[in-house]
Structure 1
Amino acid sequence: MRGDRLLSLVLLLQARPTAAAPDLAERLGVSVRTVLRDVEALSAAGIPVYTERGRGGGIRLLDTYRAGLAHLSRAEGAGLAVGQARLAGDLGLGDALDTALEKLTGAGGRALRGGLADARSHVLVDVDPWMRSGEPVPHLPAIHEALLRQRRISMVYRDSDDIRAGRTVDPAGLVAKAGVWYLVTAEPALLRVARVESCTVLDEPAHRPPGFDLEAAWSALREGVEARPRDLAVVAEARPEAAAMCRRLLARHLRNPAAGGTRLELSFNGVNHAVGSLLGLGTRLEVVEPPEVRDAMRAAALEVAAMYPM
């Protein structure tokens, strides 16, 4: 265990010109005193590590020294596989990703360290859609752990019609699509992780079909969602000053995307789908037809108004 920690300390020092002992202690999950003892042990073993006192001081490793191996942990490898910081954070792997990058840049030397710094200062990857931040997924780390351990999951799931039901599933993979996490089960089926209201990892082994291909399963499930018939036609009238914004936000529902003006012809899977998509636009848009959608919009608006009595 100490040998792993000493190697991790060397690789962390390679990734930083100078590191403060408290920062290293936090990274390694030990006390500052332990870090200082480890520095002494490394120095006694002939590794060129030393401390500098005073303002701007810290623990240093000669830049010419290379450990040669990244020696990543399982969590750090998983963090690298995800790659994107926010998604790794959702999985509980944010710190592991940071540490893995530090180890790799340390093993790669000054050139790789400079390249990573340049990339981070010039390129930002934002996985969330416009006007929507990432949705909370408190049960995602447990689902991820069940997936890695190949264990079944017992959960309470709320579907798109707001119906809650208990179910037991065999997890087969996780997919992040436009910042939204989905669980692919062995059936296969697709569950939105944000709709999991409770989750228990069981001791029962999960059944994952031999040769299961996550990418192929996801492609088939995605095609099923995208090909789902939207047979409810809705006509709405947008305020002139809001027409462009409404068209942009409702682009995937437009029946004639090339048309302009304030009149929007839309398609939805059903009344609930239409209300959920249109209510957030408030008074910027009025549903003209069909009557059942107008009635549902009015009922939903009255429910919202009732929450804020005078």
Structure 2
Amino acid sequence: MGVRGDRLLSLVLLLQARPSAAAPELAERLGVSVRTVLRDVEALSGAGIPVYTERGRGGGIRLLDTYRTGLAHLSHAEGAGLAVGQSRLAGDLGLGDALDTALEKLTGAGGRALRGGLAEGRSHVLVDVDPWMRSGEPVPHLPAIHEGLLRGRRLRLVYRDSRDERETRTVDPAGLVAKAGIWYLVTAEPALLRVARVEACEALPDRAARPPGFDLAEAWAALREGVESRPRQLSVTVRVQPAAAAMARRLLARHLRGPAAGTDRWELAFNGVAHAVGSLIGLGPRVEVLDPAPVRAAMREAALAVAALYQAGENG
């Protein structure tokens, strides 16, 4: 099928996905001019497809609802968008528009019943992939990593680790995982890299060495188990405001070493000072670090830095 044939079929499927659409809207979705859309409508009508235009307010280009092509005719990018499924995550990968178009095409091919079911489902169920008290991390290099992964290329990354040290790594990408709104790159070793910590990405001409029979779900399960079972070496004692106990318990559940019932002093465990500060600073005065001294001092420095930032804004 040629370029125009692809476009004509896409036009039919877009019209099936909605009762009526304006020519400028269709032109934008198809990446052509309004005049081209109108010519395509004439061509479809001449070929016996029941498409017509309605003038006046509320008018547009319409297709008889009883007409079905029986095909979704999805592009490679649209298929990749469907594999991700969730709109925010597809947007991170640069596939947000492709996912929307794929859903429109599938809805069009399914007809009125599928269109109604999709609309009803969207009005009753919302999937929010971000954890409480935190939005998704910026991942500007995720589309490049995803593209290199799909092309089977080795990647040269500038990576900032959890100790804030930068290094250049050459990796064989094996898969991407989104966990609670956080993206991770699984490498062939296997190893786990947090995509938000990637500061530069270059796809190399070398082929990535993805192991034969590699199973991303199995690799992720093993890596996740290693992270979850990793012993936390730093013990931190905090005082929790009684009014904030329920919220703090929910946010710090993974770090708890079991606060005694009826006490405001909790024992927590972290991987290091930076990990502790990053986990506790957002709770503000609701949680006070009592011990050890290095964590208390680091919390004080972080709080002063935030206060100085806003003080400078007031003075400016």
Q: TM-score, normalised by structure 1?
A: 0.96
For the pair 1:167 / 2:169, whether they are aligned, the reply is yes
Alpha-carbon deviation of 1:280?
Answer: 2.2
**Alpha carbons 1:21, 1:32 under 8 Å: kept:** yes
Secondary structure of 2:263's counterpart equals coil
- Return 17-26 or 262-271, whichever deviates more: 262-271
What letter corresponds to residue 73 of structure 2 in structure 1? H
Alpha-carbon deviation of 1:155?
Answer: 1.4
1:147 to 146, 149, 174: 149
Gaps of 5+ in 1: none
The verdict on how the C-alpha distance between 1:257 and 1:10 changes in structure 2, with shifts beyond 3 A counting, is farther
- Return 289-298 or 151-160, whichever deviates more: 289-298
**Alpha carbons 1:172, 1:214 under 8 Å: kept:** yes
Structure 1 CA distance, aligned partners of 2:245 and 2:290? 15
**Alpha carbons 1:243, 1:261 under 8 Å: kept:** no
Aligned twin of 1:230 = 232
Which consecutive aligned stretches of 4+ in structure 1 deviate over 3 angstroms post-superposition?
257-261, 299-310
Aligned twin of 1:211 = 213
How many residues are matched?
310
Structure 2 CA distance, aligned partners of 1:222 and 1:75? 29
- Return 48-57 or 238-247, whichever deviates more: 238-247
Structure 2 CA distance, aligned partners of 1:114 and 1:295? 58
| Match runs of 1:17-32 below 5 Å | 17-32=19-34
Alpha-carbon deviation of 1:232?
Answer: 1.8
Structure 1 CA distance, aligned partners of 2:53 and 2:117? 27
What letter corresponds to residue 218 of structure 2 in structure 1? A
Gaps of 5+ in 2: none
Aligned twin of 2:93 = 91
Alpha-carbon deviation of 1:276?
Answer: 1.8
CA root-mean-square deviation:
1.5
Aligned twin of 1:123 = 125
Structure 1 CA distance, aligned partners of 2:274 and 2:23? 56
Structure 2 CA distance, aligned partners of 1:189 and 1:145? 19
**Alpha carbons 1:39, 1:49 under 8 Å: kept:** yes
What per-residue deviation string (whole Å, max 9, x for no partner) do you get for residues 219-264 of structure 1?
0100010011013221111223323322222111111167343211
Structure 2 CA distance, aligned partners of 1:62 and 1:131? 47
Structure 2 CA distance, aligned partners of 1:10 and 1:117? 20
**Alpha carbons 2:238, 2:267 under 8 Å: kept:** yes
Structure 2 CA distance, aligned partners of 1:126 and 1:39? 39
1:182 to 181, 184, 193: 184
Secondary structure of 2:42's counterpart equals helix
Q: TM-score, normalised by structure 2?
A: 0.94
**Alpha carbons 1:236, 1:263 under 8 Å: kept:** yes
Alpha-carbon deviation of 1:202?
Answer: 1.6
Structure 1 CA distance, aligned partners of 2:283 and 2:218? 36
* Identity %, equivalent residues: 81
Aligned twin of 2:50 = 48
Alpha-carbon deviation of 1:306?
Answer: 4.6
What per-residue deviation string (whole Å, max 9, x for no partner) do you get for residues 199-228 of structure 1?
111222111011110000000100010011
- Return 203-212 or 276-285, whichever deviates more: 276-285
| Match runs of 1:1-310 below 5 Å | 1-256=3-258, 259-307=261-309, 308=311
